[in-house]
Amino acid sequence: SGCVDIDECTANPCPLGAICNNQPGSYSCQCPGGTAGDPYKDGCSQLKVPESCGPNLPCPGNELCVSDDYIGHNVCICQQGYVRDPKTGKCKDVNECSTTT
pLDDT digits (tens, 9 = 90+) for 75-89: 899 998 998 887 778
Q: What is the largest CA-CA distance in the chain?
A: 47
Proportion of the chain in helix, strand, coil states, percent, rounded to 5: 5, 40, 60
Mean pLDDT, residues 24-28 taken together: 90
Mean pLDDT, residues 93-101 taken together: 72
Mean pLDDT, residues 10-23 taken together: 90
Q: Are 14 and 8 in contact (CB under 8 A)?
A: no
* DSSP, res 9: G
The per-residue pLDDT for 68 is 80
The per-residue pLDDT for 49 is 62
Residue 13 has pLDDT above 90, yes or no: yes
Mean pLDDT, residues 58-74 taken together: 85
